[in-house]
Structure 1
Amino acid sequence: MAKMILSARFVQTAVCPPGKAKEDIFDIGCKGLMLEIRASGGKTYYLRYSDKRGRIRQLRIADQRDVTLAQARQLADAKRAEIALGRDPAEEKKTLREVRTVEAFMVESYLPHIKTYKRAWPADDSYLRNHILPAIGRKYMDEVKPTDLIKFQHSMREKGYALGTCNRCLVLIRYAFNLAKRWGEPGVTENPTKEVTLYKLDNQKERFLSPEETRRLLDCVARSDNGLLQYIIRMLILTGARKREVLDCKWADFDMARMLWTIPITKAGKPRHVPISDAVVSLLNEIPKTSGIDYLFPNPKTGKPFISIFYSWDTARTEAGLADVRIHDLRHSFASFLVNAGRSLYEVQKLLGHTQIKTTQRYAHLSHDTLREAANAAMSAIAQTAG
């Protein structure tokens, strides 16, 4: 390792000594600047320095063919100034090399994480494969900007996707970047979704069954070719539970001594307990049991829960003249029956398993309607008295 005052002529003519792979020459005229001369004929400028822990680090400045000696000295001086101010260029380069692409992070870290607690993880996997990764998957995590996500939103709308679908994708990206930031993912210092707003949903559909519609629906499901459909639909109406919570329930989940149905894993990823009403007790007594099968509603062909009941459900609701009613609307209807019976929103929240009261607030207008009917009834009584 030699030291000398480098000159432009020397840099141009210097060759690696015979028998050596490379030769390092330090420039006395610029602190830390080194010229590496290789046997292949290549020459590269480096800056050698000590980091904040006293370790010797080496930072590539440039290829000798790309800059002059004077420019190499200027670049070395600039890098030393950065180091003096607390920045470590070599460490920053190392961090850059560790930054993963969005696709690598989602596949290697995000999906394995949510699979441990989120029952609906296949939906996230679908959003990733079909929408998110084709758009930003090849970008590095530190390259994703708010403008990229706004462009992504607009492109989905141009393709005809619903506002709700666009929002679901953005929420997924937001959550993934929050996790990345929390986990110290290299390159992630800010969440790029922070400045991107969700689309306002003006078309949220809330459908409530009237008592008469409920009777029509129950008549039709009772005639379904799927012999278990009538019990499944009644269970949904009587409990307000989610579809998969009902389809996956087992006999062992029902504690008749305490009158509690334990749903082992909910949408929130934790168990919840649902009181068993007298109507549910009667229903449980009607459901035919299959020997050796743990599930309340096993598919006769597999003995496992139904993957889908859409065909039999669609046939029954259409026959009942309720083609616009979704299975999830049975949950809404359960809530409306409760509110219109005078139960509080707090009670509705607990029975539906909502983690936040704002989710339950959508049913507040139902209590208003009930109170208005009560006020009208009072006025009618007053009018009759006055008459």
Structure 2
Amino acid sequence: MATIKISAPTVSDVLASALPNKTTFYFDTDLAGFGFYRTTAGTGTWFVEYRPVAGGSKKRLKLGRVGTLKASEAREAARKTIAHAGLGKDLAKDRSDERASGTIKELVEDYIAGKDMKQSTRDFYTVTMKTHIQPHLGAMKAVAATRVDVQRAHMKMTKTARYSANRAMALLSAAYVWGAKRGYVPEGLNPAAAIDKNKEEPRERYLTGEEMVRLGDALREAETIGIPHKASDSKHAPKEKNRTIYGRHVTGAIRLLMLTGCRLREILNLRWSEYDEKRGLLMLPDSKTGRKTVVLSEAAQAELDGLPRLGQFVIAGRSAGLPDEQPRTDLKKPWAAIAGRAGLDDVHLHDLRHTFASVGAGDGMSLLTIGKLLGHSDAATTQRYAHLHVDPTRAAANAIAGQIATALEGK
């Protein structure tokens, strides 16, 4: 141990001298407890020693590497540490607690595993965590993250997925709230709560009558002679004369999405046992909004009745009929091929649900009725179709204004 007046020149002289045969400590002559040590490899590290106000043994806190921190910066950090210790704040303990705490990845995973939620929601959260949160924030200690850290991560996520970046922030914020209630993080700590999120515009894409005709043609072609084969077509579908044929369960799923207004997973997870043929109903036990009854049209029921029954699920997947049968996971590749053939490359599968609602609104059905058909739990959700609901509103305006005009004319 040596005592020197620590400054930039004196430290440089020490580091330029011959390597020590053991770690050597140098203490400052002016600020008690402040110093640096040099290892046998020549590396210098700033530190400060202090005794907690509550008593106990002396503690040593590393401040940073010599060269990374200037002598003046290290001295100021040491001074603050000693001052905090005098006020009862133990920075060494805080750092120890921080190292012992879980990471953001662990916090979000515990939230997903421990929170009561639907399996579909759990799956979505898991993908969001792995795809967006983990790459940018996963290894960071949950108690150490700041709003600035999270905002920067959100900006990076935004470069590849604007809306998904917002969903990731909502998930992270919920995980912090949940974690605070269970002591995972300090109460009130939520660096994702005040993030500036990306502005979102509701998607409004509805098929026109002419587009529905083209889609119908493409569906018939897909299940008969097949869609002209492209490299991106499914490798699991049979090829005939450079065309890809898609079975009735694929085309049937797409038709049912259009004819019922159901969500994709409601159709893909639909079991034959949930289909009440006599009453023309689907009795869904666990939709996005809970238990749901879908009233089937004659066209939808005819589509269901025309599908081959290969297993417990209406839309048969690869494991249809097997003991461990699972529902089909998605329709992405078949839809891309069929929609592309119909010239509807900008149409998403969920837009078929919007189309169902838009046709109803355009025909003058009440928004209440449309909301019931779609299974909306909140009437406000159906209001997005209000601007399409023109005819009944115009009829009401004509009735009211007609009476007023008649009165004004003295008739």
Short-chain TM bin: 0.5 to 0.7
Provide closer, same or farther for how the CA distance between residues 366 and 73 of structure 1 changes in structure 2, counting only shifts above 3 A: closer
Query: Which AA in structure 1 matches 2:299?
Result: A
Match of 2:263 in 1: 242
Residue correspondence of structure 1 range 191-230 to structure 2 within 5 A: 191-202=190-201, 204-224=202-222, 225-228=245-248, 229-230=250-251
Contact 1:141 1:187 in 2 (8 A): no
1:135: how far off? 1.8
1:155: how far off? 2.3
Partner of 2:194: helix, strand, or coil? Answer: coil
Partner of 2:282: helix, strand, or coil? Answer: strand
Match of 1:320 in 2: 342
Structure 1 residue runs of 5 or longer lacking an equivalent are 1-43, 50-57, 67-71, 83-87, 380-387
Query: Which AA in structure 1 matches 2:127?
Result: S
Map Cα deviations across residues 328-352 of structure 1 (whole Å, 9 max, x no partner). Answer: 1100001111212222223323322
1:100 has 2:102 as partner: yes
1:239: how far off? 1.0
- Work out the CA distance in 2 between the residues paired with 1:45 and 1:321: 73
1:259: how far off? 3.8
- Work out the CA distance in 2 between the residues paired with 1:76 and 1:122: 46
Match of 1:146 in 2: 147
Partner of 1:337: helix, strand, or coil? Answer: helix
- Work out the CA distance in 1 between the residues paired with 2:319 and 2:273: 22
1:184: how far off? 3.3
Match of 1:25 in 2: none
- Work out the CA distance in 1 between the residues paired with 2:149 and 2:174: 17
Give the aligned CA root-mean-square deviation in angstroms.
Answer: 3.8
1:209: how far off? 1.2
Provide closer, same or farther for how the CA distance between residues 248 and 141 of structure 1 changes in structure 2, counting only shifts above 3 A: same
Match of 1:276 in 2: 296
1:213: how far off? 2.0
Provide closer, same or farther for how the CA distance between residues 223 and 148 of structure 1 changes in structure 2, counting only shifts above 3 A: same
- Work out the CA distance in 2 between the residues paired with 1:343 and 1:197: 39
- Work out the CA distance in 1 between the residues paired with 2:397 and 2:359: 19
Partner of 2:294: helix, strand, or coil? Answer: strand
Provide closer, same or farther for how the CA distance between residues 353 and 91 of structure 1 changes in structure 2, counting only shifts above 3 A: farther
Contact 2:53 2:86 in 1 (8 A): no
111-120 vs 244-253, greater mean Cα deviation: 111-120
Residue correspondence of structure 1 range 324-363 to structure 2 within 5 A: 324-363=346-385
Q: What is the total number of aligned residue pairs between the two structures? A: 311
Match of 2:24 in 1: none
1:241: how far off? 0.8
Provide closer, same or farther for how the CA distance between residues 356 and 147 of structure 1 changes in structure 2, counting only shifts above 3 A: farther
- Work out the CA distance in 2 between the residues paired with 1:255 and 1:118: 25
- Work out the CA distance in 2 between the residues paired with 1:330 and 1:218: 13
Match of 1:177 in 2: 176
Partner of 1:195: helix, strand, or coil? Answer: coil
Query: Which AA in structure 2 matches 1:289?
Result: R
Match of 1:69 in 2: none
Match of 1:129 in 2: 130
Provide closer, same or farther for how the CA distance between residues 319 and 372 of structure 1 changes in structure 2, counting only shifts above 3 A: farther
Q: Identity over the aligned pairs, expressed in percent?
A: 29
Match of 1:261 in 2: 282
- Work out the CA distance in 2 between the residues paired with 1:281 and 1:223: 22
Q: TM-score, normalised by structure 2?
A: 0.64
- Work out the CA distance in 1 between the residues paired with 2:196 and 2:309: 50
Match of 1:307 in 2: 329
1:250: how far off? 0.8
Match of 2:185 in 1: 186
113-122 vs 204-213, greater mean Cα deviation: 113-122
Structure 2 residue runs of 5 or longer lacking an equivalent are 1-48, 64-80, 223-244, 402-411
Query: Which AA in structure 1 matches 2:179?
Result: A
Query: Which AA in structure 1 matches 2:382?
Result: T
Query: Which AA in structure 1 matches 2:327?
Result: P
Contact 2:53 2:85 in 1 (8 A): no
Match of 2:306 in 1: 286
Match of 1:28 in 2: none
1:97: how far off? 6.5
- Work out the CA distance in 2 between the residues paired with 1:286 and 1:78: 78
Match of 1:14 in 2: none
Contact 1:218 1:230 in 2 (8 A): no
- Work out the CA distance in 1 between the residues paired with 2:82 and 2:212: 83
Contact 1:232 1:297 in 2 (8 A): yes
Match for 1:364 among 365, 386, 392? 386
Query: Which AA in structure 1 matches 2:220?
Result: A
Query: Which AA in structure 2 matches 1:226?
Result: Y
- Work out the CA distance in 2 between the residues paired with 1:156 and 1:143: 20
Contact 2:52 2:86 in 1 (8 A): no
Partner of 1:265: helix, strand, or coil? Answer: strand
Contact 1:241 1:331 in 2 (8 A): yes
Query: Which AA in structure 1 matches 2:357?
Result: A
1:295 has 2:321 as partner: no
Map Cα deviations across residues 256-285 of structure 1 (whole Å, 9 max, x no partner). Answer: 3454312232235x3322222333222222
- Work out the CA distance in 1 between the residues paired with 2:187 and 2:193: 13
1:363: how far off? 1.2
